[in-house]
Amino acid sequence: MAEAKKQSLIQRQWPWLSGYNAGTFSDDLVAAIIVTVLLVPQCLAYALLAGLPPQVGIYASVFPLLAYAAFGSSRYMSVGPTAVISLMTAAAIAALPEETRIVSAAILAVLSGVMLLVMGLLKSGFIMNFISRSVVSAYITGAALLIMISQMKHIFGTKADGTTAFTLIRNLMNGLSDTNTVTLIVGVLSILFFWLSRKYLAYGLFKVGMKSKRARLAARLAPIVAIGASIAASYAFDLSNQYGVRVVGNIPSGLPLLTMPHMDMKTLQLLWLPALVLALVAFVDSMSTAQTLAARSRSHVDPDRELLGLGAANVIAGLSAGYPVNGSMSRSVVNFTAGAKTQISGLMLAALMTLSALFLTPVLQYLPLSTLAALIIVACFSLFDFKALWKTLKYSRGDGITAIATFFAVLIFGVQWGVLVGVILAMTFHIKSTLRPNMAIVGRFPGTEHYRDAARFNVETNEYVKTLRIDESLYYANARYLEGKIGRLVEESPKMRDLILMCAAVNRIDASALASLETINSRLKSAGVTLHFSELHSHVKDRLGRSELIRQLTGKIFFTQHEAMEALEPEPDWSQFSDHVDIH
Amino acid sequence: MAEAKKQSLIQRQWPWLSGYNAGTFSDDLVAAIIVTVLLVPQCLAYALLAGLPPQVGIYASVFPLLAYAAFGSSRYMSVGPTAVISLMTAAAIAALPEETRIVSAAILAVLSGVMLLVMGLLKSGFIMNFISRSVVSAYITGAALLIMISQMKHIFGTKADGTTAFTLIRNLMNGLSDTNTVTLIVGVLSILFFWLSRKYLAYGLFKVGMKSKRARLAARLAPIVAIGASIAASYAFDLSNQYGVRVVGNIPSGLPLLTMPHMDMKTLQLLWLPALVLALVAFVDSMSTAQTLAARSRSHVDPDRELLGLGAANVIAGLSAGYPVNGSMSRSVVNFTAGAKTQISGLMLAALMTLSALFLTPVLQYLPLSTLAALIIVACFSLFDFKALWKTLKYSRGDGITAIATFFAVLIFGVQWGVLVGVILAMTFHIKSTLRPNMAIVGRFPGTEHYRDAARFNVETNEYVKTLRIDESLYYANARYLEGKIGRLVEESPKMRDLILMCAAVNRIDASALASLETINSRLKSAGVTLHFSELHSHVKDRLGRSELIRQLTGKIFFTQHEAMEALEPEPDWSQFSDHVDIH
């Protein structure tokens, strides 16, 4: 029995385990080898981008993979260092003293990881809904541009620190006179190679007879050729010592033990907000990668399990002297395309990265930083999405302004603030769109029980009992508008003695709207008008029952609009028709 | 003609000018004298609260009155220094060097004023709708508590700076051993007098035969007795020199010239955000005062003109070496109760304050600071509204949490952050409430053209053509939910070949929801299902016309739901009924 239960838990957590065989094993292994080739230079490059020593990138590429395999839900996702998260890390630790940055990056990973785990345990995967697509897309475009600018110093071989576009460009300009020509040549050649191979190689290989899928995979791996070449050149001509070209340098071989980084209150106070923003961005970004992969493979991702997987990966990244990680779109796609079948491929990748950490470091130390920077810069090309920005602006001014503001906020205030600016503006525009909800005086279609807008349809209304239909939930942002609307209605309707609010479309009445309804009730009372409600949703009615409004209400709550009219409508004053109508 | 036009402009701006006569003049004058008695000690007290020299409070009580009379719309509003705005000023300038604080406070007023003017010119009075009643009430309660705590140092005669409850209380505890006993006695006696006279004096005077309204007014003015007494005691016993009681001290007599305070980029960078928050709070607070007074006098306030009035008042406050001002609830109510009829009363108040600045300063210099602190503390009693907090929490958990978080944010992070925390939480809870909009599969009421929820009513549905009615606007926060909902529907409906989205309640489709609809359209296409829309609002349809969805859409847009069903519904397959139904 207990055995069966255990079986079913494993079944639920890792459904792909059943039916694992030699075929799937070899598929996974091939994919892992290919991703390793991609990941080794990338993890060094992203550590550089984060302003951390190269080994930190390697550490962040081993243990997090194991944690994600255990807790995450996507089969193909490859977690590890990524461009945007590395830049966020750089921004978060930039203000801290040089000597504490490595520990702070690890603390940042632990904090973000714990936040993600807590969100996952509280099943709050829904929070990703607060970050709209257009904000994410504008944010990534802005971050990519900022990353490119931040890497230019390595291409020129100069120094130019900063976390905003303004300071980066100013420092870059100031340092231009110190440009190292050999570094610049290596950097520009690398950019050209990476860019041309990414853009044309797949097509070229396909033309000379390679299968389309295989050609695309080969093109993805082409960077390793340039990296090999630049390592060889660096070693052969001793670029570092002879020409002052900055290289990766000595990397400690092996992996660190798992240890908790030392935290003090002051660091925590500085890092909690960046950690929160980082956790949100990592989650939203990883989810969109996971969903894309799930759609291709007709499988399913669970946001709450993604939170757990990503949270565990980050906690482990921090404990293993790494820095924050998330799901990498580019590596995950290669993993999927290369034929990975299960997360076993992630475990194999971790093993291969361990071997790299043990045996490749003597070779990698000669790699020029400008080649790594070129790798980052070309990777950023594919993150730009100005077309989406333009499309959004054309469709909706509010959404477009939000996206553009997000883009510029990233550049001007730094990568941490872009998402916050975007989320708050998106909320603001949405709420602004509901400030003046549609409200209509309704009347009865003659001879029926249907009530429609009196301004658009030829319906029966009367001077004494009026009905206002409200077409949106009532809450703080439109509560005062309702007060004003009813105020004007009272002014214009001297004969009115009953007002019915028809609430079929009101899904919610919040505390502010309740206060407004209380105000309206007492103002109407002093004007001699009785206030009624009709067609209230039952959950709205239940909640109103807990308020004082229900005790003070001058009128009644009617189940249907027709019931209300039947009860309140005055007897027709036949006398006024007596000249025209012959009553039988 | 030009004369007539000018006439009508004046008429529109100051409608009360026509019919101004000796009677209204004397009414206004009496009110102005009474408010002056109240304002002289208050402006000194609030300057103390803001951490500024006493004369700054006087300066802020003269010119802003003129500006408001010229541009504002409320007849009874008394603008000048107030408790909450003084505390916000204190928080904004606390981080700046001591010697630049006076200039910074003036800059803050100019900045806030310009922001308010710009908002007024852009007719953005609607922004007050973003700040819910429960947030305002919780904010004021928190600020009142923080103000009380901040004034305790003057009661004890110690030093205890800080902008959050935590630092204030810690510094207060540390300084307790330095308590000045005479200061403490003066402070406690003042608190008792102010509190008892406020609570019982009106009732007492009414009991001994005074008219109710007059008794209430007299009680309002009682503080002047205690202030006179403490000035007399301070002078007679030389409390300042003999007992170390801190007093107001030398106040420069007269008024300053209007000058632009010197601004540099660094100060502007530090002050723009506090100025924005201050402008919003000042506006929302003043508007609620103005609306209360307007309701009592059955007149009307225009939010956009209030913005202009308050903006002009603040700009002038800054130019006349003052600090930020807003409409004072307590003084405005006294002004109204004392019989003020027009804003001429405000002009008289300005004249009387000028006289005070010229002739009263030699007397006021003896006033002990602890008496002023007592005045502030007792004023805060009436700002507490814990009952509203409790009522909100009981009615709605989300609103209650927002209010409580606002309250604690004020205490813990300082007065600047409370409103921001409240606004953002209120938006978040509202948007959270729309994350999972109501959606229902609908069918036709037999023999009619009406379509209702198939889960609740006995209606006709079929397996091939399904209709999903969406009961809320589609936007970024619920777009992904719609994707999931339709995904499940497709899974559960193997025979479905047409899906109609019935959008009668959809007031808006934003760019993110549009992207989701595009995704849904292409996913349905690959599943062999055609997507249609019915009952789209015309403005939603117009906007969709600008998108790519309309070109990619597999199905059609139908005007009514019935039209859609007529066009799409399959011919009934009578054969399957042939065993059971006898067809004639």
Sequential DSSP letters for B316-336 = HHHHTT----EE-HHHHHHHH
- Which of B126, B480, B546 is the closest to A395 by Cβ? B546
Which tens digits make up the pLDDT trace of B16-41? 677 788 888 888 998 999 999 889 99
| Residue B336, CA distances (Å) to A416, B82, B269, B344, B375 in order | 50, 18, 40, 13, 22
β-strands A439-444, A326-327: how paired?
A: unpaired
Is B511–A396 a contact, with Cβ atoms under 8 angstroms apart? Answer: yes
Residue B577: pLDDT band by 50, 70, 90 thresholds?
Answer: very low
Q: What is the mean pLDDT of residues B529-539?
A: 89
Measured distance CA(B410)–CA(B139) in Å, rounded: 7
Mutate: best of B133, B432, B448, B542, partner A, most A CBs <10 A: B133
Q: At CA B240, angle to CA B234 and CA B246, rounded to 5?
A: 100
ipTM: 0.75
Which tens digits make up the pLDDT trace of B162-212? 888 998 999 999 999 999 999 999 999 999 999 999 889 888 888 888 888
Mean pLDDT computed over every residue of chain B = 87
Percent of chain B with pLDDT over 70: 94
Residue B57: pLDDT band by 50, 70, 90 thresholds?
Answer: very high
Is A431–B507 a contact, with Cβ atoms under 8 angstroms apart? Answer: no
Which tens digits make up the pLDDT trace of B408-445? 999 998 887 888 889 889 999 888 888 888 888 999 88
Q: What is the mean pLDDT of residues B462-487?
A: 89
The residues pairing with B247 across neighbouring beta strands, listed in sequence order, are B368
Percent of chain A with pLDDT over 70: 94
Distance from CA of B40 to the nearest CA of A (A): 35
Measured distance CA(A482)–CA(A201) in Å, rounded: 63
| Residue A572, pLDDT score | 58
Sequence-ordered list of residues with C-beta below 8 angstroms from that of B404, at least 6 positions apart, any chain: B138, B389, B393
Percent of chain B with pLDDT over 90: 42
Mutate: best of A167, A291, A395, partner B, most B CBs <10 A: A395
Measured distance CA(A411)–CA(A82) in Å, rounded: 19
Which tens digits make up the pLDDT trace of A504-533? 778 889 988 998 899 889 888 888 899 999
Please name the residue that has the structure tokens 């009263």. Answer: B360
Sequence-ordered list of residues with C-beta below 8 angstroms from that of B42, at least 6 positions apart, any chain: B57, B80, B81, B328, B331, B375, B379
Task: Quote the tokens at residue B40.
Answer: 């002289």
Torsion sign across C-alpha atoms A444, A446, A452, A457: negative
Sequence-ordered list of residues with C-beta below 8 angstroms from that of B583, at least 6 positions apart, any chain: B574, B577
Is A507–B129 a contact, with Cβ atoms under 8 angstroms apart? Answer: no
Which tens digits make up the pLDDT trace of A140-163? 899 999 999 999 999 999 988 888
In contact, B315 and B114? CB cutoff 8 Å: yes
Residue A548: pLDDT band by 50, 70, 90 thresholds?
Answer: confident
Q: Quickly count: other Cβ atoms within 10 Å of residue A460's Cβ.
A: 13
Task: Quote the tokens at residue A369.
Answer: 């930083």
Q: What is the mean pLDDT of residues A393-416?
A: 90
Percent of chain A with pLDDT over 90: 41
B214 pLDDT exceeds 90? Answer: no
A6 pLDDT exceeds 80? Answer: no
Amino acid identity of residue B102, one-letter, is I
Amino acid identity of residue A157, one-letter, is G
- Which of B431, B475, B546 is the closest to A394 by Cβ? B546
Residue A263: pLDDT band by 50, 70, 90 thresholds?
Answer: confident
Torsion angles phi and psi, residue B451, rounded to 5: -120, 130
In contact, A381 and A106? CB cutoff 8 Å: no
Which residues in chain A are closer than 8 Å to B431, comparing Cβ atoms? 130, 427, 430
Which residues in chain A are closer than 8 Å to B391, comparing Cβ atoms? 511, 548
Q: A113-122, A378-387, A564-573: lowest mean pLDDT where?
A: A564-573
| Residue B515, pLDDT score | 87
The total number of residues shown for chain B amounts to 584
- Which of A128, A428, A476 is the closest to B133 by Cβ? A476
| Chain centroid to CA B573 | 63
pTM, entire model: 0.79
Identify the closest residue of chain B to A399 by CA–CA distance.
B511
Measured distance CA(A94)–CA(B51) in Å, rounded: 35
Give the helix ranges, DSSP H, for B499-581. 511-526, 538-545, 549-552, 561-568
| Residue B8, pLDDT score | 66
- Which of B128, B427, B515 is the closest to A431 by Cβ? B427
Is B433–A508 a contact, with Cβ atoms under 8 angstroms apart? Answer: yes
Distance from CA of B450 to the nearest CA of A (A): 11
Distance from CA of B343 to the nearest CA of A (A): 25
The residues pairing with B534 across neighbouring beta strands, listed in sequence order, are B502, B558
Where do the domains of chain B lie? 21-126+170-273+302-383, 439-571
Distance from CA of B395 to the nearest CA of A (A): 6
B62 pLDDT exceeds 70? Answer: yes
Identify the closest residue of chain B to A298 by CA–CA distance.
B523
Measured distance CA(B474)–CA(A399) in Å, rounded: 13
CA R_g for chain B: 32
Which residues in chain A are closer than 8 Å to B445, comparing Cβ atoms? none
Measured distance CA(A291)–CA(A90) in Å, rounded: 28
| Residue B578, pLDDT score | 44
Is B471–A133 a contact, with Cβ atoms under 8 angstroms apart? Answer: no
Which residues in chain B are closer than 8 Å to A387, comparing Cβ atoms? none
Coil vs helix vs strand at A141 = helix
In contact, B412 and A412? CB cutoff 8 Å: no
Which tens digits make up the pLDDT trace of B81-98? 999 899 999 989 987 888
CATH class of segment(s) A439-571: alpha beta
- Which of B396, B438, B515 is the closest to A133 by Cβ? B515
Is A514–B473 a contact, with Cβ atoms under 8 angstroms apart? Answer: no
Mutate: best of A475, A483, A524, A547, partner B, most B CBs <10 A: A475
Is B430–A477 a contact, with Cβ atoms under 8 angstroms apart? Answer: yes
Q: At CA B124, angle to CA B403 and CA A132, rounded to 5?
A: 65
Which residues in chain B are closer than 8 Å to A477, comparing Cβ atoms? 129-130, 132, 430
β-strands B439-444, B451-453: how paired?
A: antiparallel
In contact, A205 and A222? CB cutoff 8 Å: no
Task: Quote the tokens at residue B347.
Answer: 């002009």
Is A510–B430 a contact, with Cβ atoms under 8 angstroms apart? Answer: yes
